[in-house]
Amino acid sequence: MAEVRSVSLDELVARARALADAGPRQLLGITGPPGAGKSTLAERLVAAVGPAARLVPMDGFHLAQAELVRLGRADRKGAVDTFDANGYVSLLRRLRRLEPTAVYAPLFRRDLEEPIAGAIEVPPSVRLVVTEGNYLLLTDPPWDEVRSLLNEAWFLDLDVQRRLHRLVARHEAYGRSPEAAVAWAHGSDEANAAVVAGSAGRADLVVRLSDPLPG
């Protein structure tokens, strides 16, 4: 049963630092519905821990836009079947093994709407890998393997209206019209949120930030 707590960012930073100190390498997963603030929280944690931490987002495993078009799934980009889940699991296995040379991970560029291979270096000196994404705690194969590869998993909870406001603002910032931004946030994003909602119980901690992050 997941622990549900209202916590401050400082408390989460302290918990992440303790995880990094546990060594030799720990994997922390941050999940939750679209717009909950996963990326922002993960970035804050990695910045606070410093060079011993790296952020490796699940979003780097988005399928390429051309492949989504071929599959007829471009209008549902971000849905669970629009990611290379096997590739993500394989990368987590490599990161967990702590290989003697650097491991490179892909990065999703929102300005391009495309994943970029080999964009994130994770050298052997990194003691904490923070990975974030919607689907880390799902029980359908191959996603079901992710949980066993994480030393800790946090589920970030946020009020629905605040989430939707964040999502609309994000979509507008990356070029959608206000009408299209609202339609995507209330349509595709909320469909993805429904998939994620039932997975919170598999987390170690359900996080309700006492002072929600901006954005």
The 10s digit of each residue's pLDDT in 83-129 is 999 999 999 999 999 999 999 999 999 889 899 999 999 999 999 99
pTM value surpassing 0.85? yes
pLDDT score of 213? 67
Q: In the CATH hierarchy, which fold is given to the domain comprising 3-208?
A: Rossmann fold (3.40.50)
pLDDT score of 40? 93
Q: What single DSSP character describes residue 200?
A: G
pLDDT score of 214? 62
The dihedral sign for the CA sequence 131, 135, 108, 164: negative
For residue 160, the tally of other CB atoms under 10 A from its CB is 11
Domain segments of the chain as ranges? 3-208
Q: Phi/psi class of residue 211: alpha, beta or left (left: φ > 0; alpha: ψ in -120 to 50)?
A: beta
Which residues, given as ranges, of the chain have pLDDT below 70? 1, 210-215
